[in-house]
């Protein structure tokens, strides 16, 4: 699917047919959005822009040369957009191509930030004079969404902390949930750092308009604060993880202590029972109430062990 946003009569109009390239001047086209495009849509877009659009495999590479590249007439930038799921997050690659004042984007998944921006462009065309302004708006909205995700994770971490304080369901599954939240936090941080690197490389270029410098500086500051916040979330999760491991160890130690105590309490009576259980003549075995005396002796031994342990503060 292709969406072509172009200027005409002081407005921004939308065309969803690649054949309209023949009627358009590239200087009038603000944004070309390629959403899971067909081969013909991608080929005609390349002809219209005069550049070759990178493949998805290239967009997903992590090398700096693949993430950002600049030629004489174009800038190629690739970054990841985070897609939250019920249990874990995933990252989807999005490619940006800036040729003069025209922006082209290539993506394979629907993105809320793109949809909202497209509506805003149609309603307020004066705010988007060119592709660089659209590019800055996309990054701005994406950073806002990342901030919302970090805020949601912070609330989730607070809930886990509250459950720990109330000692609710502190078990191995609880620890695995915290580990998954740690993984999501690392993915969010990686995604934000990728945006920071992209903006840093873009601001080093002499192609982007100088009037957007202040806007990109604000984005850099926002991203830096998000990185600090994500680092704090990760450190807090590590603290919660250590606390849960400590509580689980305490429970296990308490259980082992009970078993050890029971074993120690039964050791003296077991020794007496074993002694009198031998098939030999033993003193006092011929009396009628010998079993009661032996049983009472066992009870005395158990009480004695308990007293000794309490005096030594082992109970």
What does the DSSP assignment read for 134-191?
A: HHHHHHHHHHHHHHHHHHHHHHHHHHHHHHHHTT-S-SHHHHHHHHHHHHHHHHHHHH
Delimiting residues of CATH 3.30.460.20 domain(s) in the chain: 2-248
Those residues whose C-beta lies under 8 Å from the C-beta of residue 20, and which sit 6 or more positions away, are: 4
CATH level 3 topology of 2-248? Beta Polymerase; domain 2 (3.30.460)
Q: Provide the pLDDT for residue 85.
A: 67
Specify the CATH architecture of the domain 249-311. Up-down Bundle (1.20)
Q: Would you say residue 64 has pLDDT above 70?
A: no
Model confidence band, residue 56 (pLDDT cutoffs 50, 70, 90): low
Mean per-residue pLDDT over the chain, rounded:
79
Percent of the chain with pLDDT over 70: 87
Do 305 and 264 form a contact (C-beta atoms < 8 A)? yes
Model confidence band, residue 255 (pLDDT cutoffs 50, 70, 90): confident
Q: Provide the pLDDT for residue 175.
A: 77
DSSP structure string for 13-55? EEE--GGGGGG--GGGEEEEEEES--HHHHHHHHHHHTSPPPP
Delimiting residues of CATH 1.20.58 domain(s) in the chain: 249-311
């Amino acid at each position: 699917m292709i969406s072509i946003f172009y200027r005409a009569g002081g407005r921004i109009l939308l065309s969803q047919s690649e054949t309209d390239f023949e009627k358009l001047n590239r200087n009038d086209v603000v944004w070309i959005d390629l959403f899971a495009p067909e081969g013909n849509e991608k080929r005609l877009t390349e002809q219209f822009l005069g550049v070759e659009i990178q493949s998805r495999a290239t967009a997903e590479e992590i090398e700096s040369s693949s993430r950002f590249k600049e030629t004489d007439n174009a800038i190629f930038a690739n970054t990841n957009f985070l897609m939250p799921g019920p249990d874990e997050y995933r990252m989807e690659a999005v490619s940006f191509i800036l040729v003069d004042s025209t922006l082209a984007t290539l993506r394979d998944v629907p993105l809320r930030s793109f949809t909202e921006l497209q509506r805003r462009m149609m309603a307020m065309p004066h705010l988007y004079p060119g592709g660089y302004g659209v590019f800055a708006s996309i990054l701005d909205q994406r950073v806002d969404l990342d901030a919302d995700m970090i805020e949601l994770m912070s609330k989730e971490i607070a809930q886990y902390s509250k459950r720990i304080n109330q000692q609710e369901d502190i078990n191995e599954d609880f620890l695995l949930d915290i580990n998954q939240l740690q993984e999501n936090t690392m993915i969010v941080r990686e995604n934000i750092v990728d945006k920071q690197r992209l903006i840093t490389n873009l601001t080093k270029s002499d192609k982007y308009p100088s009037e957007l410098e202040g806007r990109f500086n604000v984005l850099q500051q926002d991203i830096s604060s998000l990185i600090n916040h994500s680092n704090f979330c990760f450190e807090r999760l590590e603290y919660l993880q250590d606390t849960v491991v400590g509580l689980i160890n305490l429970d296990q130690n308490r259980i082992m202590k009970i078993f050890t105590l029971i074993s120690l309490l039964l050791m003296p009576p077991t020794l007496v029972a074993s002694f009198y259980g031998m098939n030999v003549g033993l003193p006092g075995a011929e009396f009628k109430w010998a079993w009661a005396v032996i049983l009472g002796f066992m009870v005395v031994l158990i009480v004695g062990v308990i007293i000794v342990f309490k005096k030594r503060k082992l109970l």
